[in-house]
Every structure is written in C-alpha cells, then in structure tokens.
C-alpha cells in the first residue's frame, strides 16, 4: 500500500502538530511520573507518608502550573522516541515500525494498568488500539481521521511486567473510510486481544 500525499485541506480542524525532541529533563520527568503512577495505586504507607506525598505533589503542581499551555505547545504526545510519545495518558508503547504497510509497537504494562488479579484492565486495551489506529492512518499518509467505531475481542488475560507486541494495519479503504485491524500478543505468540475499527477522514474544518 502506498502512502497518500498529505493534503492540508483534508486535515479537518486539527492543528498540524510537529514532532519534537524532548527538552532537557523531560524524558526523566516522564519516566519518574510513570513510576509515580504505579506507586500511587500500589503503595500502602503510613498516614504521615501520605501527608508528605500530598505536599510534594502539591509543590510540583505549583511549580508547573504557571506554564500551562494550549494543546500542541508542550512536548507531551509529540516525542515519538519516548514511550507513549511522552504522554502519560498513553500506555508506554515504543514504536518499532510505522509506514504505509502498518504499525508495530512493543508495550509493557505496569501496576498502574491493573484492573484486578494483577491483569491489565480491559479498558486500557481500547486506548492502546485507538492509538495504534491513529498511527496506522498517519503511516499510510492519510489525513487526520476520527474513530467511528472500535471493537475489541479479548482472547486471553493481558499480563503486566511483560513486553508485549502489537501491530495494526489498514484492511480496506473506501473513500474517506479506512477499515483497520490490530492485535496484541505475548512473547510466545499468545493472542491477548484483537481489534477492528473504522477511521473516517475529516472534512475541511471538521473538529
């Protein structure tokens, strides 16, 4: 499948966001924040420690709040070399391939993503697949598209602390519509989940 040429007029109402290199300290900040997310759901300290942690978190908010910026100005979500492109919202996937043929990523879920019994929460996987679908559209050179639907079949428990592989590809194109597929597998090939969806190219100015 050959990539389509980029057309600004078919980019909808989205700003054209450019990838950036991480500012000094940003990668370390994101790494620490991801570990902090794990501890926020896993730690069970004494009351005094919770009080101190709350004070330190408030201090960090106070430090960063003056720099709150509009969408697309900060580096989060725009650093392809960092897990989850530097966005704490995204599962910490690492992009292995992104081109007209499809997308391949590796991802390692942690304690933060647990839903119960030390397995990844089922609601996390649609977020991963939706992110992959967006990358598939980008890799194919198609303009910005919105997810019209996303269906997930859960085939086996998705473990944490295991490096998993996921891939996505376009199955069929029909004008503005791109029908996409994705799957997530364990190192031994066990299928954790698979997804299919519809991505619809935005009209000019469409949000």
**Phi-psi map region of 38: left, alpha, beta (phi>0 left; psi -120 to 50 alpha):** alpha
Mean pLDDT across the stretch 153-168? 98
- pLDDT tops 70 at residue 2: no
Fold of 8-201: Thiol Ester Dehydrase; Chain A (3.10.129)
**pLDDT, tens digit, for every residue of 72-106?**
899 999 999 999 999 999 999 999 999 999 999 99
Distances (CA, A) of 52 to 31, 40, 116: 21, 13, 28
- Residue predicted with more confidence, 111 or 13: 111
Q: What's the start-to-end Cα distance of the chain, in Å?
A: 28
- pLDDT tops 60 at residue 4: no
Question: Tell me, what's the pLDDT at 206?
Answer: 80
Question: Tell me, what's the pLDDT at 12?
Answer: 67
Question: Tell me, what's the pLDDT at 18?
Answer: 86
**pLDDT, tens digit, for every residue of 164-207?**
999 999 999 999 999 999 999 999 999 999 999 999 998 877 87
Out of 2-6, 81-85, 141-145, 150-154, pick the least confident: 2-6
> Which pLDDT band, with edges at 50, 70 and 90, does 13 fall under?
low
Other Cβ atoms closer than 10 A to 65 = 8
């Amino acid at each position: 499948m050959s990539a389509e040429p980029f057309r600004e007029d078919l980019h909808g109402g989205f700003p054209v966001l450019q990838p950036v290199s991480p500012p000094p300290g940003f990668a370390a900040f994101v790494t620490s924040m991801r570990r902090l997310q794990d501890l926020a759901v896993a730690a069970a300290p004494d009351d005094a420690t919770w009080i101190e942690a709350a004070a330190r978190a408030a201090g960090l908010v106070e430090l960063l709040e003056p720099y709150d910026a509009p969408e697309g100005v900060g580096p989060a979500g725009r650093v392809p070399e960092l897990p989850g492109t530097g966005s704490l919202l995204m599962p910490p996937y690492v992009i292995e391939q992104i081109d007209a043929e499809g997308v391949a990523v590796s991802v390692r879920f942690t304690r933060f993503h647990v839903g119960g019994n030390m397995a990844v929460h089922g609601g996390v996987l649609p977020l991963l697949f939706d992110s992959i679908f967006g990358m598939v559209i980008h890799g194919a050179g198609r303009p910005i598209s919105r997810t019209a639907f996303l269906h997930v079949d859960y085939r086996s428990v998705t473990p944490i602390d295991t490096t998993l592989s996921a891939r996505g590809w376009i199955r069929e194109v029909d004008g503005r519509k791109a029908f996409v597929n994705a799957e997530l597998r364990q190192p031994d090939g066990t299928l954790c989940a698979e997804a299919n969806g519809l991505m619809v190219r935005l009209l000019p100015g469409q949000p």
